[in-house]
Amino acid sequence: MKIAIQGIAGSFHDIAARRYYGMHGDGTGIELLECDTFHDLCQAVQNQSADAAMMAIENTIAGSILSNYALLDTHQLFITGEAYVQIQHHLLALSGQTIQDIKTVQAHPMALLQCTDFFRKYPHIHVEEANDTAAVAKKIRDESLKGVAAIAGYAAAELYGMGILAERIENNTKNYTRFLAISRTPNFTSKDHNKASLSLRVSHTSGTLAEALIVLKHNHINLTKIQSIPIVGLPYEYSIHIDMTWEDYTDYEHAIQELGKQALEIRIFGVYKEGEKNLELTAQKSYAKVIEKTQPTAKAKSDGGKVDIEIDHWKNWVPKAPNAPSEDYLLIAGPCSAETEPQLLQTARDIAALGKTSILRAGVWKPRTRAGGFEGMGTTALAWLKRVKEETGLMIGVEVATGQHVEECLQYGMDIVWIGARTTGNPFSVQEIADAVRGTNLAVMVKNPISPDLELWIGAMERVSLAGIKKLVAIHRGFGTQEKTELRNPPAWSIPMQFRARLPHIPMINDPSHITGRRDKLAEIAQKSLDLGMNGLIIESHLDPDNAWTDAKQQITPKVLGEMLDGLTWRPESNDDGLATEEYTKLEILRSSIDRLDNEFLELLASRMNVVREIGEYKQQNGLEVLQEARWKDLMEKRLSVGGKLNLGDTFIKDMFDRLHTESLETQSSIHSK
Ligand code: PEP
Ligand code: MN
């Protein structure tokens, strides 16, 4: 079991992790994943570099680490348990050093806060903040640093062979840290759990928080903690973090039901068994006793937990087609759906005869947006494809949406599976597919999700990559839209281009068939994708397109496909580094940044107007004038000053705030006259 901790072996996170998972884990021993920051720790669990994590949340002397709740929230992680560890701090240095030799002490700010009394007695010791207590001990040993001390426990002293200059230097000997066991999945089901952590967002109206607390009281729920946490992006709005315990699980269930009706939002971080307190655990002098089954320790990436997607380039595993228009492009063609054996076989023969591509695509399970259409021939078609492969020598690619689909593709010797646009958007399905391809020799292509969400697309690639698949290709197939557009799925070029900018080493091909939905536009989109530096095309081709069972309007015969490919301009050198060179690419990316910023701007504007309305109501209830000259003058001065520092011209700021002010006055006047 791989457990992410903040800090390194020998830290209190290490002690807590071994203790907790030693008792609650799956018994396979513990391997630590050392993370520099809590953020890295959460990323490691989220992206499955670790199975679970141990994360400090509060200390009896230094207080809570509120930002860790936000990290749990943003990484969608859950609390599955807790452990209290007694923190005993000692002053460690190279053996032979005395306290007079020590000029600086380096430690985690939390540790420093817990030992302030001790250092007040030694004013000659300079206090410096570091990332991790045990890491300082390790550094002192590794670099034989004289004059430097660390604050850490016995475990670090033993592990890094340090001398102990002073024992128990914490301000108060009742020094406990509460650690949370963190996991990707909650353990909501077990009825013997007696503690929950959740956050509530209640409306501003007076009394709502009190009402929520009364619900808890009526249901015999004991609050062990209540704390308000600012909501990022909603100034002066708070979510209330609550830890609670109970005797009877049904009381908890009732309370949650009632709270659910009252609160604007409720997020349950986890339901778990309350941890045992007051353990003199770290008083054990021998680290060896604490760690029962030690396993190697890995180092997490400190770049925010991003997965390095390793690629086995398609040129290494796709045979060259005899008449390929260019060796530098990956070409895939085939019918939208495998309909009948003759349709499939004849289409494949014609495509093979063109000699322009080495890969045949065919839909076997068809995800239709609406129910009641043709849903694919399934396993029957896989048997046909196996024959096609034997006869034509083409590699075969099939869309998969479940682990079972992958199993069947493997049985029938398929070479490539692709994750379709309707599936990429669902991390559960993507993970299921990733688990199924793990350990196989399959190549995996990932289409962009229907929604224009770059992170989901990259996340899907990461999941497949974490399953050990290196034969990876991204497919750009355009994005769903509500508007009536000329193209079926508008390409939104800036999204694939941002993908390219972030992950230039991942080959990306374009799917003009699903972007256009119409054959007369195929060449235009295909050419643009090549101009933008994409690495190839996947095009739907059918021997009788007009009578195709799916996507009839966008398919072309193999003959027309050949002519179209001949008519395109291939730019072999431009795409070698995977980055487009054309100027308009840059413009597309910049424009997309403007779009994003404008949306954020509008959201902020809406939040501002909400506050304006609240102020309006307040003024009305308290008989205040809508226009408050002094306040307005003061506000404008401050905005001009901040604006100036941000390099925004005075006239611009003044015009803009005048306009905002007019709108605010109008809004408040209408409230006033009610
Ligand atoms: C397909 O390739 O036939 C298909 C269903 O595509 P998409 O997932 O892009 O809609
Ligand atoms: Mn199709």
Out of 332, 477, 513, 550, mutate this one to test ligand 1's pocket (max ligand atoms within 8 Å of CB): namely 477
Contact 75, 182 (CB under 8 A): no
Query: Which residue owns the Cα nearest ligand 1 atom 10?
Result: 421
518 CA from centroid of ligand 1 (Å): 14
Q: Give domain status of residue 130, yes or no.
A: yes
Give 444 Cα–ligand 1 centroid separation in angstroms.
14
Q: Report which DSSP code applies to 363.
A: B
Distance 514 CA to ligand 1 centre (A): 7
The pLDDT tens digits of the residues spanning 189-218 come to: 667 789 999 998 877 777 878 888 899 999
- State whether 523 and 604 are in the same domain: no
Q: What is the DSSP letter of 520?
A: G
Q: How far is the CA of 309 from the centre of ligand 2 (A)?
A: 28
When mean pLDDT is compared over 39-43, 66-70, 265-269, the highest value belongs to 39-43
Note whether 363 and 497 are same-domain residues: yes
CB 132 within 8 A of CB 9: no
Strand 359-362 versus strand 395-400 pairing type: parallel
Whether the pLDDT of residue 282 is over 60: the answer is no
Above 70 in pLDDT, residue 540?
yes
Choice between 501 and 56, residue whose per-residue pLDDT is larger: 56
Distance 438 CA to ligand 2 centre (A): 27
* Lowest model confidence (mean pLDDT) among 121-125, 536-540, 591-595: 591-595
Model confidence over 127-167: pLDDT tens digits?
999 888 889 999 999 999 999 999 998 888 888 888 888 88
Q: Is 335 in the pocket of ligand 1 (CB under 6 A)?
A: no
Rounded distance, CA 226 to CA 213, Å?
10
Same domain, 207 and 261: yes
Q: Which of 241, 275, 309 is the last residue of a domain?
A: 275
The answer to whether residue 43 is domain-embedded is: no
Cα 130 to ligand 2 centre (Å): 55
Q: Is the residue at 287 inside a domain?
A: no
**477 CB within 6 A, ligand 1:** yes
Q: How confident is the model at residue 575 (pLDDT cuts 50, 70, 90)?
A: very low
Centre of ligand 1 to C-alpha 423, Å, is 10
Q: Do 546 and 621 belong together in one domain?
A: no
Is residue 565 domain-shared with residue 608, that is, in the same domain? no
The ligand 1 atom nearest the CA atom of 422: 8
**pLDDT tens by residue, 418-453:** 999 999 999 999 999 999 999 899 999 999 999 989
CA of 291 to the centre of ligand 1 (A): 51
Task: Tell me if 44 CB under 6 Å of ligand 1.
Answer: no
Q: Is residue 345 domain-shared with residue 431, that is, in the same domain?
A: yes
More confident residue, 369 or 506: 506
Ligand nearest to the CA of 550: 2
Pairwise pLDDT comparison (283 vs 661), residue with the higher score: 661
Let me know whether 245 and 346 are in one domain.
no
Q: What is the dihedral of CA 92, 96, 102, 105, to 10 degrees?
A: -20
Domain CATH code at residue 408: 3.20.20.70
Which tens digit of pLDDT belongs to each residue from 455-481?
Answer: 999 999 999 999 899 999 999 999 998
- Which among 539, 572, 605 is the end of a domain? 572
Q: What residue's CA is closest to ligand 1, atom 4?
A: 420
Asked if residue 331 and residue 456 are part of one domain, the reply reads yes
Q: Whose CA is nearest to atom 9 of ligand 1?
A: 421
Q: What is the mean pLDDT of the segment spanning 7-33?
A: 81
Q: Give the per-residue pLDDT at 593.
A: 67
Residues 432 and 490 in one domain: yes
Using the mean position of ligand 2's atoms as its centre, give its distance from the Cα of residue 400 in Å: 13
Judged against a pLDDT cut of 70, whether residue 303 lies above it is answered with no
User: Does the structure show a pLDDT above 80 at 647?
Assistant: yes
Q: Does the C-beta of 111 come closer than 6 Å to ligand 1?
A: no
Q: From 365, 374, 433, 447, give the residue whose CB has the most ligand 1 atoms within 8 Å, as the site to mutate.
A: 447
349: left (phi over 0), alpha (psi -120 to 50) or beta: alpha
Atom of ligand 1 nearest to the CA of 366: 5
Do 262 and 121 share a domain, yes or no?
Answer: no
Angle between helices 650-672 and 629-645 (to 10 degrees): 150
* Ligand 2 geometric centre to CA of 335 (Å): 8
Q: What string of H, E and C letters represents the secondary structure of 220-251? A: CCEEEEEEEEEECCEEEEEEEEEEEECCCHHH
Q: pLDDT at position 592, please?
A: 63
Closest ligand to residue 399's CA: 1
Q: Please tell me the least confidently modeled range out of 81-95, 178-192, 208-222, 526-540.
A: 178-192
Q: Which atom of ligand 1 is nearest to the CA of 423?
A: 8
C-alpha distances (whole Å) from 265 to each of 69, 187, 259, 417 are 15, 20, 9, 40
Average pLDDT over residues 332-351: 97
8 Cα: distance to centroid of ligand 1 (angstroms)? 46
CB of 488 within 6 A of ligand 1: the answer is no
Lowest pLDDT segment from 268-272, 342-346, 555-559, 658-662? 268-272
Ligand 1 neighbour 421 (Cβ under 6 A): yes
Q: Is the pLDDT of residue 15 over 80?
A: yes
* Ligand 1 and 420: CB distance under 6 A: yes
Is there a domain that residue 182 lies in? no
Confidence at 307, pLDDT banded by 50, 70, 90: confident
Q: Tell me what the pLDDT averaged over the chain comes to.
A: 88
Copy the structure tokens of residue 395: 């590699």
363 lines ligand 1 (CB under 6 A): yes
Choose one of 377, 417, 422 to mutate for the ligand 1 pocket test, by most ligand atoms within 8 angstroms of C-beta.
422
Among the listed ranges 15-24, 355-364, 506-515, 558-567, which one has the minimum average pLDDT value?
15-24
Kindly state if the Cβ of 542 falls inside 6 Å of ligand 1.
no
Distance 399 CA to ligand 1 centre (A): 8
Q: Nearest CA to 222 among 203, 248, 186?
A: 248
Q: Which residue has the tokens 């604050």?
A: 151
The reply to whether ligand 1 has any atom less than 6 angstroms from the CB of 491 is no
Looking at residue 264, which CATH number applies to its domain? Answer: 3.30.70.260
* Cβ-Cβ contacts under 8 Å for 316 (sequence gap 6 or more): none
- By the 8 A CB rule, do 533 and 581 touch? yes
- What is the predicted pLDDT for the residue at 159? 85
Choose the final residue of a domain: 211, 243, 275. Answer: 275
656 domain residue, yes or no? yes
Confidence check: pLDDT of 24 > 50: yes
Question: Which residues span the domain enclosing 104?
Answer: 90-166
- Which of 152-166, 376-390, 530-544 has the weakest average pLDDT? 152-166
For the cut 80, the answer to whether the pLDDT of residue 325 exceeds it is yes
Compute the average pLDDT of residues 615-622.
Answer: 93
Residues 606 and 513 both lie in one domain: no
**514 CB near ligand 1 (under 6 Å):** yes
One DSSP character per residue, 301-347 reads: -TTTT--------GGGTSPPPTT-S-TT-EEEEE-SB---HHHHHHH
DSSP state, 281? G
- The answer to whether residue 220 is domain-embedded is yes
To test ligand 1's pocket by mutation, which of 360, 370, 377, 399 has the most ligand atoms within 8 angstroms of CB?
399
Which amino acid residue places its CA nearest to atom 1 of ligand 1?
336
Residue 26's pLDDT band (boundaries 50, 70, 90)? low
Q: Is the CB of 425 under 6 A from ligand 1?
A: no
CATH label of the domain that carries residue 115: 3.40.190.10
Residue 511 phi, psi (nearest 5): -115, 80
Domain count, the chain: 4
Query: In this model, does residue 106 exceed pLDDT 90?
Result: yes
- The pLDDT of residue 398 is 98
Residue bearing the CA closest to ligand 1, atom 3? 336
CATH number of the domain to which 653 belongs: 1.20.59.10
| Structure-model confidence comparison of residues 21 and 277, the more confident one | 21
**What's the average model confidence in pLDDT over 86-93?**
90
Could you list the beta-strand ranges (E) of 442-570: 443-447, 472-476, 508-510, 536-540
Ligand 1 atom with least separation from CA of 511: 9
Structural domain contains residue 185: no
What number is the average pLDDT over the span 181-192? 81
Ligand 1: centre distance to CA 420 (Å): 5
Atom of ligand 1 nearest to the CA of 367: 5
Is residue 472 one of the residues assigned to a domain? yes
296 to each of 15, 45, 70, 386, 478, how far by Cα in Å? 15, 18, 30, 44, 45
Let me know whether 538 and 477 are in one domain. yes
